[in-house]
Amino acid sequence: MQVTRAMAMVAAAKLRRTQTALVSARPYAEKIKALLARVAASVSGECVHPLFVQREEKRIVLVLFTGDRGLCGSFNANIIRYAEEFLHKNGRGVDLYCIGKRGRDYFRRRGGRILEQVIDLRGRVSLEATRRIASQLQGYYTSRSTDAVYLCYNVQVSAMISRGRIEKFLPLDPAAMGWKQTDAAAEYIFEPSREEVFAQLLPRYCESRLYAVLAETLTAEHSARMLAMNNASQNCEELIDTLTLRMNKARQASITKEIGEIMGGAEALRK
């Protein structure tokens, strides 16, 4: 019980840290998305960057976000189940980009095609790691090594509930991102060029989106671990109470038996 209580306290501290990172990243992510929406709407219908190019999805990269450790309830099992359903639906043309040991170990034992792995995050949101992952994923798509990139991660619905989600990361879909034709009323003069502007904005948008997903899944993981350890501590308390009651009953029975034997001996001596 002391171990599980300590683990719950550690998970609570990490949860507060990841929640702070998630909340702090939202203003930047929303602002760059709005900026990109206005600029992209002004060149609607024109292909100004390779990340906008839509291709037939013959080869897919699935980025799977799991934890490096267990003891967090059904957190890892649920998201692995979502990934298995995606693999079953899309056949053999899916490569796995595993972030977290649990997902990597699970699919390695079952012969999954693991393209890359990131297992050194230690439950923390890392901007450097996010940039490295985003750069790799963009490189896979622009080099035509893959036709689409999907993210598979947990979203925290409430303090006790998290749900799996699979969403497309690349290529970028203006309609899915909320870019409206009405935003095209303003005409922009691009300096030095449209291509250069998008070459700077799009990687930043991808990094901010991936950072938010990483913070979201780590928040869900720490919340699940804190809940699991609190439940384990409560089970320990109930077990201690049950064993204490059983021990007291056994001791009382032993005392009653000894008293009965003494009284029986005394009665025998009187006779």
CB count in 10 Å sphere of residue 211: 23
Q: What is the distance between the alpha carbons of residues 98 and 119, in angstroms, rounded to a whole number?
A: 8
DSSP calls for 12-58 = HHHHHHHHHHHHHHHHHHHHHHHHHHHHHHTTTTS--SGGG-----S
Residues in the chain: 271
Q: What is the distance between the alpha carbons of residues 130 and 65, in angstroms, rounded to a whole number?
A: 12
For residue 264, give both structure tokens: 């029986």
For residue 79, give both structure tokens: 């998201």
Angle value at C-alpha 98, between 160 and 88, nearest 5 degrees: 85
CB 70 within 8 A of CB 221: no
Count how many Cα atoms sit within 13 Å of the Cα of residue 106 in the half-sphere of its side chain: 23
CB count in 10 Å sphere of residue 198: 21
Rg, C-alpha atoms of the chain? 28
Tell the residue number behind the tokens 């699940």, with chain if given: 224
Catalytic residues: 72
DSSP calls for 193-248 = -HHHHHHHHHHHHHHHHHHHHHHHHHHHHHHHHHHHHHHHHHHHHHHHHHHHHHHH
